[in-house]
A and B are shown apart, each in its own frame.
Chain A
Amino acid sequence: MKILTANRLTDGECLWYARGGWAETIDDAEIAADKEAEARLEDIGKAAFAANFVLDVAMVDIELVDGVIRPTRLRERIRAAGPTVRNDLGKQARSLAA
């Protein structure tokens, strides 16, 4: 299973493609379960890059743990949360504040 991610041009914020748009959190990312769905997401990524909305577009491997999206690579888990050494920074800080 894969999801589509990128960084926003204006501020570098990590984004994931979700429900027809780009979200700042990973939780609702649209999951591609087969090659066809992957190709569709890849095209969306390419278009968003071409439209100068995002950069560093990538498809990342995930698994579902109790229904929650969990990227396979630590790198992507850190992108989704923030630095592991500063819980007060990045996305994790926002969910704490919320």
Chain B
Amino acid sequence: MYRYDEFDHEFVQARVAQFRDQIERRLAGDITEDQFRPLRLMNGVYLQLHAYMLRVAIPYGTLSSRQLRMLAHIARTYDRGYGHFTTRQNIQFHWPALSDIPAALADLASAEMHALQTSGNCIRNISADHFAGAAADEAADPRPYAEILRQWSSVHPEFTYLPRKFKIAFTGSERDRAAIQTYDIGLHLKKDAAGELGFAVWVGGGQGRTPILAKKIRDFLPQQHLLSYITAIIRVYNLSGRRDNKWKARIKILVHETGAEEFARQVEAEWEALKDSELKLPQADIDAINAYFAPPSLPERPEGDEAVRLARLDSKSFADWLNQNVTTHRHPDYAAVTISLKNIGETPGDISDSQMDAVADIAEKYAFDEARVSHEQNLVLPHVARADLKTVYDALVEIGLATANIDLISDIIACPGLDYCTLANARSIPVAQQIATRFASLERQRDIGELKLNISGCINACGHHHVGHIGILGVEKKGAELYQVTLGGSADENASIGDIIGRGFGPDEIVDAIETIVETYLAIRSDAGERFIDAYRRLGPAPFKEALYAGEAKAA
């Protein structure tokens, strides 16, 4: 794992001291809210409905046990005993007092954590595949490159006042688990025919009120050119991106209006001047960062096969969890475990302080001291010996985190919505809870198969509704909540934006509507192997529209 060097330590400490001073001056009334607001946002502090909110960065979603315990400590000491993991692999605390935030940030800094670049028009915390370094299908671990970009972009003066926020994501596999096509820049680490590492570069994706998928502007960028090429992209954006209209300021609008080909041409022209400059990465630097991410040495544990076989026979619930929450590892004696934070009827992505502590203990004992946050708002233990899976499962059962529902309909992504968020039009969490409860039966969920259901409480799309197989968007109509449904979205390597299916549904209709959609799919799928998204792509919206609205048309 990456460890802070002396510079990082000093930098983060200095930032805590600076922000402490700014908060003190704000509380003393020496600076106004208008002066303070941009400063607090640069340090991850928002005001929500009930209180302030502190968003803590989790670079590329990677946490050590010590860091996870620190998050538990923050939840316990400065908040209400829980945290909320977000679709950008960060964590939010929903109740801190402004006056406590300097102490919280100082504590976080002691565990090499901070809230920098979790807000504001800068390069935001960079995300990556949550199975990075563990996935069997990966060309290489993309996190060292994410870390190189992080070091280079942190408070980079040229990129601190961009036209709008800027989000970058990495994957190291063909199978995209990091939703890179929904990002301002998505980078796919891969090998060329000669075995050299480089990136496919995707630009101009984004969600919000204008969802657009990124365009691939380069199929292979040799790794040493990472910084120069990204700089070229952001320079073109910084120069030509719109600053007159917040809703047109993201790079997706620039790429869309300029055209991907012309945009790529401008980037290449800019890059010509930069590519042999000091931004070219020396192999020694890449190697040095790579060394921080060296995988743990994984001892042979061949007894795992037999242990898993026996435990599977012994316990149906363990077998279910194994089928649903355990993923193939590049090492045959190991597995990656996903810990669902989607217990039926609870808030997606929420976790208590004691659960965080317990997961940290499990990670320390059985997973080489490492945990990950996934953009689906779950936790991951990337390296667990198969021989230890049953022990890990039992420990998760103890703390109520053994729900076997990964990628199923109850593994819902949901933003905080109107229960917490000032920008919300409708609640997200209760809708997620009710849908999960309706489909609580694991047998039924498994019969339905892979189904990504995503919910946002307003058009900002923090809950990724545009790219859910089923997306739900909360709007406000005549003072009441209304839920609009989109179908056919996807955030993987075959990304697509969902289509709005028709008129919206009230809070007491939405769960039935979702059930109607699911039952329609079950009735029309070609066989049990055809996933919801595949059936939708084959048949289009018509059967679903018919099932949802036909009665109305006839009545009208």
Q: Give the distance in Å from the alpha carbon of A49 to the alpha carbon of B29 in the complex.
A: 10
Is A40 part of the contact surface with B, judged by Cβ < 8 Å? Answer: no
**In residues 34-80 of chain A, which contact B (Cβ within 8 Å)?**
49, 51-52, 55-56, 72-75, 78-79
Q: A10-B27, A12-B52, A79-B50 are in contact. Are A74 and B480 (CB under 8 A)?
A: yes
Q: By the criterion CB–CB under 8 Å, are A84 and B419 in contact?
A: yes
CB distance from A84 to the nearest CB of B (A): 6
Q: A74-B480, A75-B424 are in contact. Are A9 and B98 (CB under 8 A)?
A: yes
Q: Give the distance in Å from the alpha carbon of A85 to the alpha carbon of B27 in the complex.
A: 32
Q: By the criterion CB–CB under 8 Å, are A10 and B97 in contact?
A: yes
Dominant secondary structure of chain A at its interface with chain B: loop
Q: Give the distance in Å from the alpha carbon of A56 to the alpha carbon of B51 in the complex.
A: 11
Q: Give the distance in Å from the alpha carbon of A86 to the alpha carbon of B49 in the complex.
A: 14
Q: By the criterion CB–CB under 8 Å, are B430 and A52 in contact?
A: no
| Among A14, A55, A75, A90: residue with most chain B CB under 10 A | A75
| Chain B 78-94 interface 0/1 with A at a Cβ cutoff of 8 Å (1 = within) | 00100000000000000
CB distance from A85 to the nearest CB of B (A): 5
**Which of A9, A56, A73, A85 is within 8 Å of B422, CB to CB?**
A56
Is B48 part of the contact surface with A, judged by Cβ < 8 Å? Answer: yes
Q: A9-B98, A84-B427 are in contact. Are A72 and B49 (CB under 8 A)?
A: no
**Which of B26, B52, B422 is within 8 Å of A52, CB to CB?**
B26
Residues of A within 8 A of B343 (CB): none
**In residues 501-556 of chain B, which contact A (Cβ within 8 Å)?**
none
Q: By the criterion CB–CB under 8 Å, are A12 and B419 in contact?
A: no
Q: Give the distance in Å from the alpha carbon of A74 to the alpha carbon of B49 in the complex.
A: 12
Indicate the size class of the contact surface on chain B: 20 to 34
- CB-CB nearest in chain A for B427: A84
Q: By the criterion CB–CB under 8 Å, are B98 and A82 in contact?
A: no
Q: Give the distance in Å from the alpha carbon of A72 to the alpha carbon of B479 in the complex.
A: 7
Is B32 part of the contact surface with A, judged by Cβ < 8 Å? Answer: yes
Q: By the criterion CB–CB under 8 Å, are A12 and B47 in contact?
A: yes
Q: By the criterion CB–CB under 8 Å, are B480 and A85 in contact?
A: no
Q: A55-B33, A84-B419 are in contact. Are A73 and B479 (CB under 8 A)?
A: yes
Residues of B within 8 A of A14 (CB): 49-50
Residues of B within 8 A of A11 (CB): 51-52, 97-99
Is B231 part of the contact surface with A, judged by Cβ < 8 Å? Answer: no
**Which of A13, A49, A75 is within 8 Å of B418, CB to CB?**
A75
Q: By the criterion CB–CB under 8 Å, are A52 and B99 in contact?
A: no
**Which of B33, B95, B98, B422 is within 8 Å of A49, CB to CB?**
B33
| Chain B 469-493 interface 0/1 with A at a Cβ cutoff of 8 Å (1 = within) | 0000000000111000000000000
Q: By the criterion CB–CB under 8 Å, are B480 and A56 in contact?
A: no
**In residues 391-450 of chain B, which contact A (Cβ within 8 Å)?**
418-420, 422, 424, 427, 429-430, 433
Q: 3 closest A-B pairs (Cβ-Cβ)?
A: A11-B97, A12-B51, A83-B419
On B, residues with C-beta under 8 Å from A are: 26-27, 29, 32-33, 47-52, 80, 95, 97-99, 347, 418-420, 422, 424, 427, 429-430, 433, 479-481
Write 29 A-B pairs (CB below 8 A) sorted by A numbering.
A7-B47, A10-B99, A11-B52, A11-B97, A11-B98, A12-B97, A12-B98, A14-B50, A52-B29, A52-B32, A72-B479, A74-B418, A74-B427, A74-B479, A74-B480, A78-B418, A83-B420, A83-B429, A84-B419, A84-B430, A85-B427, A85-B429, A85-B433, A86-B347, A86-B419, A89-B50, A89-B80, A89-B95, A90-B50
20 more contacts with CB within 8 A, not counting A75-B424, A85-B427, are: A10-B27, A11-B98, A12-B47, A12-B48, A12-B50, A14-B49, A49-B33, A51-B29, A52-B33, A56-B47, A56-B422, A74-B418, A74-B479, A75-B49, A83-B50, A83-B429, A85-B419, A86-B419, A89-B50, A89-B80
